[in-house]
Amino acid sequence: MSPCDPGRDCPSCPRLVVFRDRQRAAHPDWHNAPVPSFGTDDARLLIVGLAPGLQGANRTGRPFTGDWAGDLLYETLIGFGFASGTYDERPDDGLTLIDTRITNAVRCVPPENKPTTEEIATCRGFLAATIAAMPRLTAVVTLGKIGHDSAVRALGERPSRVPFTHGGMHRVGSVTVFSSYHCSRYNTNTGVLTPEMFRAVFGTVRRHLDAAG
C-alpha cells in the first residue's frame, strides 16, 4: 500500500471507523471509505481541504465532488486554468486537473464534519507522504484553519510561525503556502467568504506559478 493512501478499510481512527461502518450499512452504494487525492503527483499546486463531506466526497469518492464546496472550487479552478472540462458533481464527469492535486487533511468523513485533534494528527502522516511524493510542488492552498495548520505541520513548520489568515501567503521551505477561508456553504451563505474573495486567492496563485515558469 502507498504511504499516501490509507486504504479502503483504514483502522487508525476508531470513531471514524464506527461512523464509516454505519454509513456503509445505510448507503451501500456510496464510497464510504478514505477518499484518495485527486490529480497527479507531478503537479506544482496542492490544495488541502478539511475532510470529505458526508454527502459529497464520502458519497462520490472524489474530493470536493457532490456538494456546494465543489461547485465553487471547481468553477474557480476552471476559471484560472487549473482544471478543464465540466464539473458535474460526479467522479466520471470528465473533469481534469491541470498542474493541480487536491487532498484533505483528514481522509475519512467525520461525524458533523468535525474531526478530533487526535484524528487530524493521525491522518497527517498521509498528508505528509502526499507532499513528499510531489517533487515539483511549489504552492499549497489551504482551505480553512484546520487544513492550514495540518498542512503547515506536514511541511515541517509550526502553525504559530505560519498563521492562518484569508489571503495569507507564507514561504515554508521551497513551498509557498496560500491560505483561504474554506469554500463551504456555511461560509458563503454567511458572507464570511464570497466568490470574489475566493477567486482573488487563486488569482494570486496563478500569477505566482506563472512567474515561476
Model pLDDT, residue 1: 61
Closest by Cα among 48, 66, 60 to 103: 48
For residues 159 and 180, give the distance between their C-alpha atoms in angstroms, rounded to a whole number. 15
Written as one string, the DSSP assignment of 130-171 is: HHHT-TT--EEEEESHHHHHHHHHHTT--GGGS---TT-EEE
On whether the CB atoms of residues 4 and 35 are closer than 8 A, the answer is no
Closest by Cα among 202, 208, 209, 207 to 76: 202
Helix/strand/coil for 114: coil
Walking along the chain (213 residues) 10 residues at a time, the average pLDDT comes out as 87 97 98 98 98 96 95 98 96 96 98 96 98 98 98 97 97 97 95 97 98 87
Which residues does residue 143 pair with via DSSP β-bridges, in sequence order? 180
Residue 76 has which C-alpha cell? 474557480
pTM for this prediction: 0.97
Which residues does residue 38 pair with via DSSP β-bridges, in sequence order? 102
